[in-house]
Each structure stands twice: as structure tokens, then as C-alpha cells.
Amino acid sequence: MADSEKQLTKEERRVIEGCGTEPKFSSDLLDIDKNGTFKCKRCGQILFSSEHKFDSGTGWPSFYDMEEEGAVKTRKDTSEGMTRTEVICSNCEAHLGHVFDDGPRDKTGKRYCINGIALEFEEVGDD
């Protein structure tokens, strides 16, 4: 584990390192509507911005774009008897969730469906 990586709880490890999924509607980050950034729980890299967050109604924090190009990477996921596109942190390869093509059509059309347990929110003040 790199020095910059944080110690994770058993449940965080299950999701982040074991490619798990947190229960629907269990994340405190679902209702965050403050200005800020969402960082990787394991390494602290900025992944998403509150500016790109939207309510998808799916039960997981959803974003239509990443904060900066290359903040996350994707790879094919054929687990659970289906083919999906997994989203991972481009820095430490923590499992974050999946991306789908059913996001806001007036934006990117993408829905990054992310496990809130894999993220930390940092509020940015309006100084």
C-alpha cells in the first residue's frame, strides 16, 4: 500500500478492493448538494465535482462527467452474469462503480454510478 493510501474499513475494502457494491440509498453522499469535490477514499485523488452530480434515482451518487480528463479509467466487467463498464481510480485503481450510457442527454449522456463508500467529499467554500 502506498504511503498516500488510507487504511480502509472492512466494508470499504469489500467494495473498493473486492469490486463490491454498497446497498442502494445507503450513502450519505446521495443528498450532498454543496459545492465541492469527490475524492478517492483510498488515495485522495479528485475524481468528480459537485457541478457534475445529478439525481439519477438509482440509489447511488451519480455524475455525468469526471472532474478532469483521466481522473478515472474504465475496464470491461463481466461479473454477475452481465457485461458492464467498471470505473476505477486512475491513480490507485480502486473500484468505484460503473458507467452507463443513460445519463443526462443535454450533458455527456453518461451516468457514472459510483459507490459513495469509495468517495470522500470535500466542500469548497465560496470565498
* β-bridge mates for residue 39, sequence order: 46, 120
Which of the residues 40, 43, 89, 113 is marked catalytic?
Answer: 113
For 70, phi then psi, to 5°, come to 90, 0
pLDDT tens-place string over residues 39-88: 999 999 999 999 999 999 999 999 999 999 999 999 999 998 999 999 99
Domains of the chain: 12-123 (2.170.150.20)
pLDDT tens-place string over residues 13-22: 999 999 999 9
Q: How many CA atoms lie within 13 A of 56 on its CB side?
A: 24
Residue 43 catalytic? no
First-residue to last-residue Cα distance in the chain: 36
Give the 3-state secondary structure of residue 75: strand
